[in-house]
Amino acid sequence: MEILMSIVAGILVTIAVYLMLSRSILRIIIGTGLLSHGAHLLLLTMGGLKRGTVPLLGEEAASYTDPLPQALILTAIVISFAITSFFLVLAYRAYQELGTDDMDKLRGNENND
């Protein structure tokens, strides 16, 4: 199961890299979303996908899944959520002010501010 999940995470990261190398800002932001999905999935997989019940003591099971990676993922999700929303608003502002969503046209030096 871990091998399958690793391959899926790898595919997610591949698509993310492809999207982030494109020119449109929105495609880049979709890429960052997929990249964080890949990272979170990898965090879950690397914690081990051994069988066990949900980490709730009320279940009174013999074994539980590892609760630590889940806490780490929860933290990483809210952080990447905050950054993605900031990035989206920034892209919107940049589109309003600069009038383009093409990263190639956002190149520049001190002469064409």
75 in contact with other proteins (CB under 8 A): yes
- Ramachandran category for residue 86: left, alpha or beta (phi over 0 → left; psi -120 to 50 → alpha): alpha
Pick from 1, 11, 46, 74 the residue near other proteins by CB under 8 A.
46
38 in contact with other proteins (CB under 8 A): yes
The least distance separating other proteins from the CB of residue 32, rounded to whole angstroms, comes to 5
The least distance separating other proteins from the CB of residue 53, rounded to whole angstroms, comes to 20
47 in contact with other proteins (CB under 8 A): yes
The string of DSSP letters for 22-88 reads SSBHHHHHHHHHHHHHHHHHHHHHHT-----B-S-GGG--S-B--HHHHHHHHHHHHHHHHHHHHHH
Residue 83, both tokens = 């950054």
68 in contact with other proteins (CB under 8 A): yes
- Name which of 53 and 81 has its Cβ closer to other proteins: 81
